[in-house]
Structure formats: structure tokens, C-alpha cells
Structure 1
């Protein structure tokens, strides 16, 4: 079921859409009993873009115009973030991946290309591992791959210290507000977010749903996902053709091993030059060209 936008939502989302250079439509659907928002532009074969933390669909604004010339581009807000509803539970990689599949089913998208950054990366990997027949190609950005434990260096798991802090003290809204702003400053290498851009993200991070999503996602990573992948990574086989991109100056993804080669059918690990954690906003032209080349 599709639900309409309210007047305040329409005004804000239309204003943000004007930055994309594309005719962006905004809609809400019911998934797992939650009102989930997605932005859509263009026509053709479906291309799904999954954002990271602490952001939402708007992080793709510089890519929407050129990508929408070739694809039906769909940018959902992950549950609890952006304009999507959340609840106290449901932030496992498995459930977030199921949200994606449910959205595809609602939109009658049988098979799609997918790009996932940060939180979107883990959702994309889990979805491609679980439902390889649903995905044509996958581009992962700004994070580790599922086989990082093979050939791991301890620093790889120590650099994202914010994950452990949020897992242990995530109920502190003051802490979350500070980390949200700090991440947007500290993890960007090329250029800087303006005060208005930071407020666009922080405003949606100051909702009860976003506070809960942030705390629960990171608790799940520490308590369940990391132990699970450390124990079971040898059993995982990725069949979907995949390009994994990390910024050359991304403080969260330095030193990722090439151990994936033993567990994937067709995957490449590459770096984005002169780039930190926020490639869609630091290197939008480079990234657009690389995506279109990979998609062929």
C-alpha cells in the first residue's frame, strides 16, 4: 500500500529534490508495518541506491540527474532514518535486507542493480548473499566486506570506535548528536559539508526513530553481526558481480584485505582517489563515471 505525503513533508522533500537536477518523486509504502520513504527518478532498468549513516536519500543528489538519464533510480530511506519510520527492533542485517526485498516486491522490481554505502553496504551484501537471483550487479562503498576476518589486521576493527561507543552508550541523545556532527566533519576528506547540508542530515537524526535505529544497529553489529561473520565467513559465497569501492583517505576502511577472492565469483576491490567516507558528495563525477562503466 502506498501512502500520501503530508503537506510539510512535500514542501521539505521538494525543496531538497531541487538540488538533484532530476524530476524526483517521493512516495511512502508500508513494509513490515512501517511507513518507508523512497525517492525515485528516471526510467529504464531499476537501480537502487542505499544510503549510509548519518544520512538519508539526499546523499545521492549529485548522482540522481545523470543516473536517471539511463535508469529508474530508487533511493529508499532505511528504516528509522530519513523520512522512514522505525521501531525498537529490526536492525539486523537480515531484517534490513528483507526490507529491501519487500520494497522491490512492492514496486514489482524482479531484478535490479544496487549500490550501497556504509549501512547500505551491509544491507547490500546481505541481500546479495541471500537472494543472488534478485540482483544484476552490486557496488559496495565505504566499509569492510564479509570476508575481512580472513587476513584481518586488528586496526581494521579498531578504527570504527564510534560503533563500540554507540553500542554501549547509544541511548545518550547528546552523544549521538555529537557523533553525528563529528562524523560529517571528520570522515570527509575532499571539501567540507556546509552548515546547511549538515543541518539537513542532523535534523532527521534528531528524531526518536533515528536515535533508536542508531543505537540498535550498532548494538546488533557488536553483539551479533561481527561474531557471526567471524565464525561463518568461510561458508559465504557471493555470486553477484560486485565492485567494492573505498575512499583512498577513508579513515574507516583502510587496510581491507583482498581475501574476498576465495569467496566470490566476480568481485573487484578498488579505491576512489582523493576521497574520504562520503564518495557521492566528495567525488560525484568520478563515481558516476565509474558506476556507468561498471554497469556497462
Structure 2
């Protein structure tokens, strides 16, 4: 049985705002129990999690925000965007909500890097992480294969490319990175574009893309945190994603002790949109296994 979607218009009405360093940040909270922080990717927003939101909220206190520069949050033009600042934002949101329990993370794409930073801070006494699950993302700079639009945004002409970015450009990019049989509908594309275009988002895309070189700077610190082995980790990955698909999982298995990985055949870069039931099943199994004997690598 497919999971029910939450229409974007309904999702937006359920959001709340708090202020982070003078900027309005949109966030969502639902459910009760252990805190589960959902961290979205580039260039979209927390609505990416809408298929999983209600099922997860039946078991956990789920929390998500549109990070600074994304979705319906503020998108200041004269701002130096940073993954480290986005981790600060997540911690500020948790403080705003009074969350002081060990935190579970579920992250995707750009959000994987923010989660890696939070993992590193766990060992630096900055935040207490109980577990972390990564969906498709550039966990290792050496395996990340950016699409053409990302390469152009990183170029000296990035500011022009960003301002010219349109729904048509989004369609072309998503056509490349989604699975061949799981591409978004025209309605979903309209909604993704609405979130990107909100608050004149395209004009700052060339600033947000700075996360790619920032990942290289932080690589050793982040990978070292993942290699420590005392926080439960899992990767659930769309195998045919050209950016961070099966080739990234292969590298993960080389570098991470006792790797717990799930590959989703035929699924691309957005498994939570393309195959939400599979993601939900593998995530809940992971959480159930935290109180069971050691897990074995899964496949699908």
C-alpha cells in the first residue's frame, strides 16, 4: 500500500517559524517519543520528507526545518552560506524546542554533510547523537559526481547560472538523477520548483553550492567520526543515482568498519520520494535492530 502524500499547500500551513541569527527559519514538528531530526538536501527542502512524515511521527518526535537559503526559510542575498552554520542552525532549532535527549538523524544529500558535522560534534561534546541514517549524498568528496548545473554554479559565472535557473532547468536535472521509472510527476515538479523559487531562491544558488568544496575541507574530520564505530549508522541508497549511487556505497564499504548498507535497485537520488515505503521499512528495521543483536548488511 503506497504511503499517503502531504500536499505542499497543507505542509506549508503546518509549519512554524523561529529566528536564527536574525533570519526567519521555517520548521515542522510532529509526534512524540525519541527525537528524530530529518535533514533535507540541495536544492529542495523539508517537504522532501512528506511521504515519511506521518508514519515516522507515529513512533517518534519528528523535527525538520528548511535550512537557511532553502524552501520557505529566509534566503539572504549577502550571506556566506556554510554547512557548519547549517549544523549550528539545527542545534539552535533543537534548543528552541527544548530537545535534550540523544538525537537520531535521517539525512539526505546536502543534509548528509550537515549530519556528518553533527556526528563530528558528538565526539567534541557539541551534541549527543544516538544513530544516523544517510540517504544518497556525497559522504566522500572523491565519489561525488556533480551534474552539469552544479559544475556551472561553481564556476566564475555561477551567479549568472543561478539567476537564470528555471523550472525547465530543474526538470532537466531531475530527469538525470531520478530512477528511469520513478521520475516525479508534473505536479511534484511544480511543487519542488515553488520551494526553490520561494524568496527569489535562484539568485543565491551559486552561494549555496559552496558546500561542495567545503566537503573537501572537512573530509578527514567527518570520515574519522564515521569510522569511530560507536554510533549506529546505516546507508539507504538509490543504486542508479549518477551522483552518489552504488559507486558511493562501494566506497563506504571500503572505509567504514562493519558497514550497514541497503541498495535500492532502479532507484535514483531521491529514494524518500521515489521509493518511500522501502526507505520507511529499512529505516524502521534499523531502529528496531538498535535493541537487538548486531545487524547484518541488508539488500533490496
TM over 0.5: yes
Instruction: State whether structure 2 residue 236 is matched by structure 1 residue 242.
Output: no
1:13·1:26 contact (CA, 8 Å) conserved in 2? Answer: no
State the Cα deviation string for residues 144-172 of structure 1 (Å, max 9, x = none): 324x54xxxxxx34454432211123322
Q: 1:171 aligns with which of 159, 168, 174?
A: 159
- Residues 235 and 40 of structure 1: CA distance in aligned 2, closer, same or farther (over 3 Å): closer
Cα distance in 1 for residues equivalent to 2:144 and 2:284: 31
Match of 1:210 in 2: 201
Deviations 1:245-270 (A, max 9, x none): 22111111141265556865665233
Asked if the contact 1:51/1:120 (under 8 Å) is kept, the reply is yes
Deviation, 1:45, is 1.2
CA distance in 2 between counterparts of 1:283 and 1:220 reads 26
Alignment partner for residue 136 of structure 2, among 126, 131, 142? 142
Q: Deviations over 1:102-121 (max 9, x none)?
A: 11111111221111111111
Task: Report the CA distance shift for 1:59/1:109 in structure 2 as closer, same or farther (over 3 A).
Answer: same
Query: Any idea what the Cα deviations from partners look like across 1:188-212, whole Å, max 9, x if unmatched?
Result: 1132212221111112212455224
CA distance in 1, matches of 2:43, 2:222: 31
Q: What's 2:189 paired with? A: 198
1:221 aligned to 202, 212, 219, which one? 212
SS at match of 2:268: coil
Matched, 1:125 2:116: yes
Mapping 1:1-296, distance limit 5 Å: 15-17=9-11, 25-87=14-76, 88-110=78-100, 111-132=102-123, 133-146=127-140, 149=142, 156-168=143-155, 169-172=157-160, 173-175=163-165, 177-189=167-179, 190-208=181-199, 210-222=201-213, 224-226=214-216, 228-229=217-218, 232=220, 236-238=224-226, 239=228, 240-254=231-245, 255-256=247-248, 258=250, 260=252, 267-296=259-288
Q: Is the 8 A contact 1:81 1:209 kept in 2?
A: no
TM-score normalised by length of structure 1: 0.81
Deviates more, 1:114-123 or 1:51-60: 51-60
Q: Do the aligned partners of 1:243 and 1:268 also contact (CA within 8 Å) in 2? A: yes
Equivalence for 2:298? none
Q: Distance in 2 between matches of 1:118 and 1:170?
A: 20
Shift of 1:122: 1.1
* Count of aligned pairs between the two proteins: 270
Structure 2 residue runs without a partner (length 5+): 1-5, 289-300
Q: Deviations over 1:29-61 (max 9, x none)?
A: 111211111122211111111111232121111
- Conservation of the 8 A alpha-carbon contact between 1:40 and 1:72: yes
Distance of aligned partners of 1:104 and 1:274 in 2 relative to their CA distance in 1, 3 Å threshold: same
> Structure 1: any 5+ residue segments left out of the alignment?
1-11, 19-23, 150-155
> Given that residues 82 and 211 in structure 2 are in contact (C-alpha distance below 8 angstroms), is that contact kept between their aligned partners in structure 1?
yes
Q: Distance in 2 between matches of 1:265 and 1:241?
A: 11
Aligned residue number for residue 153 of structure 1? none
